[in-house]
Amino acid sequence: MRLFDFERSHNCYKVRLFLSILQVQYERQTIDLMNGENRTPEFLQMNPRGQVPVLQAGDKYIWDSTAILLYLARQYGGTLWLPEDALGISEIGQWLAVAQNELLYGIGRAHWLRRGGSGDRQEATRRGERGLNVLNNALERSEWLALQRPTIADIACYPHASLAHQAGMPLDDYPHVRKWCTAVERIPGYVSIDGESTSAREPK
């Protein structure tokens, strides 16, 4: 199995994090986004959207971080990380949507803008803060986002939330999110975005 990724991508990180937690062996190939390697004919054959991550499983290419998390959860995690019942799946699906909307286009985009990208930073911050509020309110009532246990809902949302301080959104105003981040970091197999088994967040 091979993962085509870019180290600083939060969506790529969530896949690396889950692979580490599942203790699944894989090869890693970096795609140079800065030089357009994701737009080459060879890469577009793997993912016509020209985005990372892409996971090669045998002769199949799975693109989009959410699709990859779903595949890995079912293939290697049984029902632990992704249940079979309709209500459980829908509960997790709600948080997968938050990860790819408020968190990606809020925190993720604000992080990119701070690194020199162009766009509306105020709008990105507004979206990111709205996503953090949604997380904080849910985590006030429960230690985990879904099913009272760690699931791919937590894996999907954690990277953006844990790195919110790098996007100008410190977690001081979101104590339940901060506590949840610490809980995720205690899951066996946890690695930070740079590959270290230490906290990915700012020091307390």
**pLDDT tens, residue by residue, 148-164:** 999 999 999 999 999 99
pLDDT band at 113 (very low <50, low <70, confident <90, very high): confident
Determine the Cα angle at 28 with ends 23 and 34, to 5°.
140
CA atoms 166, 167, 168, 171: torsion sign: negative
Residue 197 is predicted with a pLDDT of 60
Mean of pLDDT over the chain: 93
The amino acid at 66 = T
CA distance 79 to 195: 26
Residues 6+ apart with CB under 8 A from 158: 14, 17, 181, 184
**What does the DSSP 8-state code read for residue 85?**
S
> Which pLDDT does position 195 carry in this prediction?
78
How many residues does this entry show for the chain? 204
Which domains occur in the chain, in start order?
2-76 (3.40.30.10), 86-185 (1.20.1050.10)
Helix, strand, or coil (residue 3):
strand
Residue 135, CA atoms < 13 Å, CB-side half-sphere: 36
- pLDDT (tens digit, 9 = 90+) per residue, 71-112? 999 999 999 999 999 999 999 999 999 999 999 999 999 887
191: region left, alpha or beta (phi > 0 left; psi from -120 to 50 alpha) = beta
- Give me the pLDDT at residue 63, please: 97
Report the distance separating Cα 147 and Cα 77, nearest Å. 15
**Termini Cα distance of the chain:** 37
Are 203 and 166 spatial neighbours (Cβ–Cβ below 8 Å)? no
Task: For 18-50, give the DSSP string.
Answer: HHHHHT---EEEE--GGGTGGGSHHHHHH-TT-
What percent of the chain is modeled with pLDDT above 70?
96
